[in-house]
Chains A and B, each alone.
Chain A
Amino acid sequence: MLLYLVRRVLYAIPIALAVGLVCFMLVQIAPGDPINAIVPADAPQEVVEQVRRDYGLDKPLPIQFGLWISRVVQGDLGRSLATGRPVTADLVSAIGNTLMLALVAAGIGFVMGSILGTIAAVFRGSLLDKAAVGFAAAGVSIPHYWLGMVLVVLFSVTLNWLPAMGAGPGGSGSWAWDWEHVKFLILPAVTLSVIPMGIITRTVRGVVMELLNQDFVTTLRGKGLRRGGIALHVVKNAAPSVLAVMGLQLGYLMGGSILVETVFSWPGTGFLLNSAIFQRDLPVLQGTILVLAIFFVVLNLAVDLIQTALDPRIRRA
């Protein structure tokens, strides 16, 4: 087990490096001189040349990459072109907000999806099953940035129950778990939750349906176990694959909340990305994407390890 753990962690390192390379290349593929990604366009020529030498941008690409990685590892993601502040500083609060939004959305989506999927599988072919499947299909087909707008029209504009945008009084700095703040979280979280709900419904339905057809379920009935006893077996069998999908979904929510955050002006990474794109603030773009992607790599690693721990059939050599 320990050996597997070490091997799996070691395997994640080259992936993380490659992810870094892709992020590094983002600035290279951007039109124009990469130096423009570091200094504002209106900087004097001497400053530009000075920075070019300081950052090693006059050296060959592989060396530049090495220099960049060593700065990143020390937590230096450069400075924002728009504000002049370090990218890391802006990212820290944004990541917290995005993580909060993603976790709440994932919570809603996973619980609802598990319930719907189980109902659909147990009553397969029934009207309930068809409704759940249709709901799941809608959940994965809906452009959620549009769903967000529909919810705003319904609950903010028409009913005036919930606020349409922002993260509450005092901005992102003074979050608290009271109604004054939580009411800002509801619409974006619900909007974001429809996709994991759809995916988890489909996954749970598929997994449970397959499990209920397995011979061992007949054995369990043959032993006289009641529904609750059989359910315990089904849950333990389904857990590894369902948890794996859930882990990926959480990652997708983190990386994919840009559109929903834009709709609701939620002060997270997506909002940061959106303004970076709008202002062509490449250091912020690069840094945000790097951090989110690394988070996803780590999440994948965690999912793998949990899956291995849960499933005795996977060899832990």
Chain B
Amino acid sequence: MSTTIASPPAAIAVPQPAPSRSRGYWQGVARRLSRDPVTLFFGAILLLMALAILFAPLLAPHDPYQTSMIRRLRPIWFQDGRYPLGTDELGRDMLTRLLHGGRLSWFLGITPVLIAFAIGGTLGVIAGFAGGWVNMMIMRTTDVFYAFPSVLLAVAISGALGPGISNAMLSLTLVFIPQIIRVAESTTTSVRNLDYVESARASGAGALTIVRVHVLPNVLGPIFVYATSLISVSMILASGLSFLGLGTKPPEPEWGLMLNTLRTAIYTQPFIAMLPGLCIFATSMCFNMVSDGLRSAMDVRA
């Protein structure tokens, strides 16, 4: 599973903090991004997709729940474009389902990462900055979760809790928290040991001030970039859970679940049956490429 990108091996480096993140630094990042056509291209697609699913109720030609026994599994451009992408196994309009399904898929994919970013980031910064036994407690607990391959952990928690959107999100959040903690901890530790933080400490600045002024501005960027790289994984995992029947329940439109219920149609309408997966792939790919672009734009050494 692409969960694997989640645990950063030595070679796929997490961006290291630069000694100073001034206004000039962020301008540099923006300049490098604006010169990176690949990232801009994938970013643009992502933006288009976001707008499409945001305005799904306005754009969608049909009702996503309206079934029809006579119109089942009709081909692309059925009825001269009245059903531009055909119909699914219950006769619902595919385009409508895909647009609406994106809302839940995106929500399921992004929310766990955001929550994990908040919780994991906080715990990681605390662990990195406090050091000592606090670090020990947090990091050893993290080690335990690292002993599970992420897909397995997500399936285990979801499977035990039973199906449902909130259970799926809870399990994904639990999968991502340790990964973000690790990155946050290592970035914070390296910032903490930089000379200027040492000197701030030596000149008697309080811990809170040091964290606010020196540590947070330097670590939030790298942690955030790492978190964006998890969105791609999260999208695939969330849809995967739905595919296993652990996420949303029918008739709710969601890409993973649609992929599952359309599996029987691969003999009759293979192209239509592949569409929800294509959407997951496209979204995940775009998030991945944008995250990569962001990382190299923020890497001062490059």
Task: Give bound CA distance, A241 to B10, whole Å.
Answer: 7
Kindly specify which of A52-60, A68-76, A214-222, A274-282 makes contact with the partner chain. A274-282
Please name all residues of chain B whose beta carbon is closer than 8 Å to the beta carbon of A262 when the two chains form the complex.
Answer: 243-244
A167 within 8 A of B: no
With A255-B152, A256-B152 already in contact, the answer to whether A22 and B144 are too (CB < 8 A) is yes
B37 within 8 A of A: no
Q: In chain B, what residue has the closest Cβ to A16? A: B147
Residue from B1, B12, B160, B285 within 8 A of A256 (CB atoms) = B1
B59 within 8 A of A: no
Kindly specify which of A38-46, A147-155, A168-176, A225-233 makes contact with the partner chain. A147-155
Q: Is A145 in contact with B148, judged by CB distance below 8 angstroms? A: no
Task: Give bound CA distance, A204 to B284, whole Å.
Answer: 23
Q: Is A255 in contact with B148, judged by CB distance below 8 angstroms? A: yes
**How many interface residues does B have (CB within 8 Å)?**
55
A142 within 8 A of B: yes
Q: Is B270 in contact with A153, judged by CB distance below 8 angstroms? A: yes
Query: Contact flags (1/0) for B263-302 with A, using CB distance below 8 Å?
Result: 1001100100110111011001101110010000000000
Task: Give bound CA distance, A242 to B9, whole Å.
Answer: 9
Q: Is A277 in contact with B155, judged by CB distance below 8 angstroms? A: yes
Please name all residues of chain B whose beta carbon is closer than 8 Å to the beta carbon of A23 when the two chains form the complex.
Answer: 156
Q: Is B284 in contact with A142, judged by CB distance below 8 angstroms? A: yes
With A146-B281, A252-B151, A277-B245 already in contact, the answer to whether A289 and B156 are too (CB < 8 A) is yes
Task: Give bound CA distance, A90 to B150, whole Å.
Answer: 23
With A18-B147, A254-B149, A293-B147 already in contact, the answer to whether A141 and B156 are too (CB < 8 A) is no
Task: Give bound CA distance, A145 to B242, whole Å.
Answer: 12
Please name all residues of chain A whose beta carbon is closer than 8 Å to the beta carbon of B285 when the two chains form the complex.
Answer: 137-138, 141-142
Please name all residues of chain B whose beta carbon is closer than 8 Å to the beta carbon of A199 when the two chains form the complex.
Answer: 4-5
Task: Give bound CA distance, A244 to B9, whole Å.
Answer: 8
Q: Is B144 in contact with A141, judged by CB distance below 8 angstroms? A: no
Task: Give bound CA distance, A300 to B7, whole Å.
Answer: 13
Residue from A149, A158, A276 within 8 A of B274 (CB atoms) = A149
Please name all residues of chain B whose beta carbon is closer than 8 Å to the beta carbon of A163 when the two chains form the complex.
Answer: none
Q: Is A256 in contact with B144, judged by CB distance below 8 angstroms? A: no
B95 within 8 A of A: no
A285 within 8 A of B: yes
Which residues of B141-173 have CB atoms within 8 Å of chain A's CB atoms?
Answer: 143-145, 147-152, 155-162
Query: Contact flags (1/0) for B72-86 with A, using CB distance below 8 Å?
Result: 000000000000000
With A26-B160, A277-B155 already in contact, the answer to whether A259 and B4 are too (CB < 8 A) is no
Residue from B11, B144, B276 within 8 A of A206 (CB atoms) = B11
With A138-B285, A141-B284, A293-B148 already in contact, the answer to whether A248 and B4 are too (CB < 8 A) is yes
Please name all residues of chain B whose beta carbon is closer than 8 Å to the beta carbon of A296 when the two chains form the complex.
Answer: 147-149, 152
Task: Give bound CA distance, A176 to B151, whole Å.
Answer: 30
With A145-B259, A149-B277, A277-B246 already in contact, the answer to whether A252 and B1 are too (CB < 8 A) is yes
**Shortest CB–CB separation between residue B288 and chain A, in angstroms?**
5
Residue from B10, B266, B277 within 8 A of A143 (CB atoms) = B277
**Shortest CB–CB separation between residue A312 and chain B, in angstroms?**
17
Task: Give bound CA distance, A182 to B255, whole Å.
Answer: 32
Please name all residues of chain B whose beta carbon is closer than 8 Å to the beta carbon of A103 when the two chains form the complex.
Answer: none
Please name all residues of chain B whose beta carbon is closer than 8 Å to the beta carbon of A181 when the two chains form the complex.
Answer: none
Please name all residues of chain A whose beta carbon is closer than 8 Å to the beta carbon of B281 when the two chains form the complex.
Answer: 141-143, 146
Please name all residues of chain A whose beta carbon is closer than 8 Å to the beta carbon of B280 when the two chains form the complex.
Answer: 143, 146
A207, A251, A252: most-surrounded residue (chain B CB, <10 A):
A252
Q: In chain A, what residue has the closest Cβ to B246? A: A277
Q: Is A30 in contact with B149, judged by CB distance below 8 angstroms? A: no
Q: Is A276 in contact with B159, judged by CB distance below 8 angstroms? A: yes
Task: Give bound CA distance, A274 to B240, whole Å.
Answer: 12
Q: Is A202 in contact with B12, judged by CB distance below 8 angstroms? A: yes
Task: Give bound CA distance, A202 to B144, whole Å.
Answer: 27
**Shortest CB–CB separation between residue B165 and chain A, in angstroms?**
15
Query: Contact flags (1/0) for A129-143 with B, using CB distance below 8 Å?
Result: 000000001101111
B248 within 8 A of A: no
B236 within 8 A of A: yes
Q: In chain A, what residue has the closest Cβ to B7? A: A248
A29 within 8 A of B: yes
Please name all residues of chain A whose beta carbon is closer than 8 Å to the beta carbon of B143 when the two chains form the complex.
Answer: 15, 18
A19, A27, A289: most-surrounded residue (chain B CB, <10 A):
A289
19 A-B pairs, CB-CB below 8 angstroms?
A15-B147, A23-B156, A26-B156, A138-B285, A140-B5, A141-B287, A143-B240, A143-B284, A146-B277, A153-B273, A198-B2, A203-B11, A207-B11, A252-B1, A256-B149, A262-B243, A276-B159, A277-B155, A296-B147
Question: Which 6 residue pairs spanning A and B have beta carbons closest together?
Answer: A146-B277, A255-B149, A206-B11, A255-B152, A256-B151, A256-B1
B contacts, CB < 8 Å to A: 1-5, 7, 9-13, 143-145, 147-152, 155-162, 232, 236, 239-240, 243-246, 256, 259, 263, 266-267, 270, 273-274, 276-278, 280-281, 284-285, 287-289, 292
A contacts, CB < 8 Å to B: 15-16, 18-19, 21-23, 26-27, 29-31, 137-138, 140-147, 149-150, 152-153, 157-158, 195-196, 198-199, 202-204, 206-207, 210, 241-242, 244-245, 248-249, 251-252, 254-256, 258-259, 262-263, 273-274, 276-278, 280, 282, 285-286, 289, 292-293, 296-297, 300
Contacts A19-B144, A145-B277 known; list 20 others, CB within 8 Å: A22-B145, A22-B156, A30-B160, A137-B285, A140-B4, A141-B285, A143-B277, A146-B280, A153-B270, A153-B273, A199-B4, A203-B11, A206-B13, A244-B10, A255-B152, A256-B3, A258-B244, A276-B159, A285-B160, A289-B155
